[in-house]
Amino acid sequence: MCDRNGGRRLRQWLIEQIDSSMYPGLIWENDEKSMFRIPWKHAGKQDYNQEVDASIFKAWAVFKGKFKEGDKAEPATWKTRLRCALNKSPDFEEVTDRSQLDISEPYKVYRIVPEEEQKCKLGVATAGCVNEVTEMECGRSEIDELIKEPSVDDYMGMIKRSPSPPEACRSQLLPDWWAQQPSTGVSLVTGYTAYDAHHSAFSQ
């Protein structure tokens, strides 16, 4: 997808580069084109060739306007920039068990994350998410937990389970002299009298 400044999402740009076959080692990992290999040779290796091994990283720097011909070549910076973009983008996920970093031509494998799966990971339950992505990928149980609201019965149950203050605590809230007055009125709480007893105590 392009905007008027020519800026496109990394996803579309990278797919175009893989399909172009212009970059050695940048190839599809499977027939479904849901995973791809990207060359990942360290610049310290004796057989490192900047024009070949850093070509895709340089292309990204050029595309983003971070490098133009005549500038000082910084292959390590180019590589870091693309690696950070891949790691930050929700469109890509590294498949570490497929990556091979200890061979003569090392590479990493990344998976292109479907948009439906991205929505699920964000907890957005949509019809497309439920229908097109498996429950395990979608994390449906987590979505259900997010959208579940306690019922009225649940709230009442929580209130009933809440412990009431002990009698001893309540009795400390009233002055001792009140409890000692004659019980001439109706008892409100065990050991205490109604307002008329309270009133008579003040009138004495």
Tell me what pLDDT residue 163 has: 57
Per residue in 155-199, pLDDT (tens digit) is: 455 555 555 555 544 445 445 544 555 555 444 444 444 445 444
Q: Is the dihedral of CA 79, 81, 86, 88 positive or negative?
A: positive
Our separate counts of H helices and E strands in the chain read 12, 4
- From 79, 13, 39, select the one nearest 29 (Cα to Cα): 39
CB count within 10 Å of CB 57 equals 25
Map tokens 């800026």 to a residue: 7
Per residue in 97-107, pLDDT (tens digit) is: 999 999 999 99
Per residue in 55-65, pLDDT (tens digit) is: 999 999 999 99
- Across 104-128, average pLDDT: 82
Domain map (residue ranges) of the chain: 10-113, 165-203
Tell me what pLDDT residue 10 has: 96
Dump the DSSP string for 142-191.
Answer: HHHHHH----HHHHHHHHHHSPPPPHHHHHTTS-HHHHTS---S--SSTT
> What is each CA distance from 142 to 40, 118, 127, 169, 173, in whole angstroms?
36, 14, 16, 42, 46
What's phi and psi for 39, nearest 5 deg? -60, 140
Residue 145: pLDDT band with limits 50, 70, 90: very low
- Across 117-133, average pLDDT: 61
> What is each CA distance from 128 to 35, 62, 116, in whole angstroms?
22, 36, 7
Q: What is the pTM of this model?
A: 0.57
CATH of the domain spanning 10-113, picked from 3.30.465.10, 3.20.20.70, 3.30.1300.30, 1.10.10.10: 1.10.10.10
